[in-house]
Amino acid sequence: MTEDDTRTKVAAAERAALKLATLPDAERSAALHDVADAIDAERERVLEANERDVTEAEALLEQGEYSQALVDRLDLAGGKLDSIVEMVRSVAEQEDPLGRTLSARHLDDDLDLYKQSVPIGVIGTVFESRPDALVQIAALSLKSGNAVILKGGSEAAHSNRALYEIIVEATADRPDGWAQLIEAREDVDRLLGMDEAVDLLMPRGSSEFVQYIQDNTSIPVLGHTEGVCHVFVDREADLEMAGEVALDAKVQYPAVCNAVETLLVHADVAADFLPGMVGTYREHDVTLRGCERTREVVDVAAATEANWSSEYGDLELDIRVVDSLVDAVDHVNTHGSKHTESVITEDADRAGRFMRGVDSASVFHNASTRFADGYRYGLGAEVGISTGKTHARGPVGLEGLTTYKWYLEGDGQLVGTYAGDDPRPFRHEAFDGEWSPGRLSGE
Subset of 167-186 contacting its own copies (CB under 8 A): none
209 binds its own copies (CB under 8 A): no
How far lies 55's CA from each of 72, 73, 125, 183, 250, in Å?
12, 13, 26, 19, 32
Range 51-70, binding its own copies (CB under 8 A) = none
Binding its own copies by CB under 8 A: which of 2, 7, 22, 69? 22
366 binds its own copies (CB under 8 A): yes
Binding its own copies by CB under 8 A: which of 5, 253, 275, 323? 253
214 binds its own copies (CB under 8 A): yes
Q: Which is nearer to its own copies, 17 or 288 (CB)?
A: 17
CA dihedral 313, 317, 321, 324 (to 10 degrees): 20
Distance CA 125, CA 214 (A): 13
Binding its own copies by CB under 8 A: which of 346, 424, 431, 434? 346
284 binds its own copies (CB under 8 A): no
Angle in degrees, CA 94, 98, 101, rounded to 5: 115
Three-class secondary structure of residue 333 per DSSP: helix
Range 107-146, binding its own copies (CB under 8 A) = 107, 111, 113, 120-121
Query: What is the x/- site pattern for its own copies, positions 371-390, by CB under 8 A?
Result: xx---xxx---------xxx
404 binds its own copies (CB under 8 A): yes
What is the per-residue DSSP string for 162-213? Answer: HHHHHHHHHTTTSSTTSEEE--SHHHHHHHHT-TTT--EEEE-S-HHHHHHH
CB burial class (10 A; 0-12, 13-18, 19+) of residue 63?
Answer: exposed
CB 424 to its own copies: min, Å: 11
Binding its own copies by CB under 8 A: which of 69, 172, 184, 408? 408
CB 137 to its own copies: min, Å: 17
- Beta bridge partner(s), residue 319: 263, 290
CB 417 to its own copies: min, Å: 8
Distance CA 379, CA 398 (A): 7
Angle in degrees, CA 150, 155, 161, rounded to 5: 45
269 binds its own copies (CB under 8 A): no
Strands 229-233 and 287-290: unpaired
310 binds its own copies (CB under 8 A): no
CB 147 to its own copies: min, Å: 12
351 binds its own copies (CB under 8 A): yes
Distance CA 168, CA 147 (A): 12
365 binds its own copies (CB under 8 A): yes
220 binds its own copies (CB under 8 A): yes
CB burial class (10 A; 0-12, 13-18, 19+) of residue 123?
Answer: buried
Binding its own copies by CB under 8 A: which of 32, 81, 229, 245? 245
Binding its own copies by CB under 8 A: which of 195, 272, 292, 299? 195
431 binds its own copies (CB under 8 A): no
412 binds its own copies (CB under 8 A): yes
277 binds its own copies (CB under 8 A): no
411 binds its own copies (CB under 8 A): yes
315 binds its own copies (CB under 8 A): no
410 binds its own copies (CB under 8 A): yes
CB 34 to its own copies: min, Å: 24
Distance CA 420, CA 400 (A): 41
CB 37 to its own copies: min, Å: 26
Contact 96, 117 (CB under 8 A): no
Segment lying near its own copies (by CB under 8 A), choices 48-56, 147-155, 288-296, 344-352: 344-352
CB 418 to its own copies: min, Å: 7
Q: Could you tell me how many residues of this chain bind its own copies (CB under 8 A)?
A: 83
Of 107, 101, 109, 51, nearest in space to 76 by CA:
51
Binding its own copies by CB under 8 A: which of 27, 299, 359, 434? 359
What is the per-residue DSSP string for 29-50? Answer: HHHHHHHHHHHHHTHHHHHHHH
CB 305 to its own copies: min, Å: 17
Angle in degrees, CA 144, 148, 154, rounded to 5: 135
